[in-house]
Copies of this chain bind each other. A is one copy, B any other.
Amino acid sequence: MPPTASAIGDARTGWQYPPPMGDGDGDVVTGSLEPTGRFSTAGLSRWWHAAARSDELARAPLGRVVFDVPVVLFRDASGAAAALVDRCPHRNVPLSVGRCVHGQIECGYHGWRFDGAGRCCAVPGLAERGDPDRGARRVAALPVVESDGMVWVAVGAGGPATAEPPRLVGVGEPGYRTVGLTLDVPGPMLAAVENALDVPHTSFLHRGPFRGRAERVPVGVTVRHRGDAIEAVFEGEPVPPGLIGRLLSPDGGVVEHTDRFVAPALAQVEYRLGSRHIALNACYTPVDDRSCRLIAIAAYRLPIPESVARSALLPLARVILGQDNRMLRLQQQTVERFGGERFVHTPIDVLGPHITRLVRRLERGEATSGALPADEQVTLLT
């Protein structure tokens, strides 16, 4: 239910509803109660975004929505990934509810068929041989590439903003195994990315399954700016309690831990201890400005059987992501209820505010190659 238009609030405490909105610039100030506004990330639609994992593209067509654009994915006759606008030009039924026949996609209403380039190849019942109108029956094809186990698309006008999609860590490298997961996320991409890279909430929200140290330990964090990426490197962090830690080292020790955002929408979390390595590659592809889809591949190099790793990692991930999704849904509902975000930050929100600022610059087309901010040092009780 939308709030009423009439402003209310309390003169004594200074609270005001609806809150005055910022200019949506996304400039965030530590310790400020000023509204930070709320903005669309539609400006990122020209970048490459993960639409599916490669192993999701099998016999059936796959319908996905990317930046509000319905897309149908399938494999063409050569086995290459194809991406078309998910609407039959005849009567506007989604092609994704049809089926794949010999590398063509067939609409479920009248049986029209299209190849991977969107060309109409068959119209059942049409007797004309010359078929002068075939060109008009074409479906728009979207730019698509496949790399690192992901199918990437760029739906925005003007074509892809970058030559290549971002690279994933560990996927396809010798000695690594992978496990994939795809999940709807009931919040915007930026909130989901911050959640994925936010350490403080893990000790609290996930204290059961994931963390849950008896006493908090101070850890030094270095924040590094790298053009279209930002990373937080944790120094002197003990092996975390719980399953992740036990997979890395049954005997404890100090772990190398890096959280990284890579534009436009990739969150990476890495844990290393000697030759052991776990790397989560989490793509948060915007569905619209209120929700996104997590398309993730975890790569790991661990001296344990694949079945053990899989049977442990996936169920753990589902529990943790379920807890996160609940918070992201509540956050989004509250932001909508109040008419915009109004966040206050502390020094231990090490990446979120930086990511928001970086994304805003990328959306405006501002160069990321100029002078980068200096590294920052923060202490976090983890």
Hey, which bits of chain A sit against chain B, CB under 8 A? 1, 3-4, 6-17, 30-33, 40, 42-43, 45-46, 67-70, 85-87, 89-94, 97, 108-111, 118, 123-128, 132-133, 136-138, 140-143, 155-159, 191, 199-201, 203-205, 216, 218, 288-291, 327, 330-331, 333-335, 337-338, 341-348, 379-382
Contacts and interface: CB of A to CB of B under 8 A. Distances in A.
Contacts of A70: 334, 337-338
B203 A10 contact: no
30 contacts: A1-B291, A4-B40, A4-B288, A4-B289, A6-B42, A6-B43, A8-B42, A8-B45, A10-B143, A10-B157, A10-B159, A13-B142, A15-B142, A17-B85, A30-B133, A31-B136, A33-B136, A70-B337, A87-B338, A90-B346, A91-B191, A91-B327, A91-B343, A92-B331, A92-B338, A109-B327, A110-B201, A110-B204, A124-B203, A127-B218
A110 B200 contact: yes
Contacts of A33: 89, 136, 138
A120 B191 CA distance: 23
Interface residues of A, dominant DSSP = loop
Contact of A126 (B13, B141, B348): B348
Nearest to A33: B136
Contacts of A291: 1
Nearest to A66: B8
Contacts of A200: 110, 124-125
A284 to B, nearest CB: 16
Contacts of A288: 1, 3-4
Given A7-B157, A8-B69, A136-B344, 20 more contacts: A4-B67, A8-B46, A8-B67, A8-B68, A8-B156, A9-B140, A10-B159, A12-B159, A13-B140, A13-B142, A17-B68, A31-B132, A32-B136, A89-B343, A90-B344, A90-B345, A91-B331, A109-B201, A110-B204, A125-B348
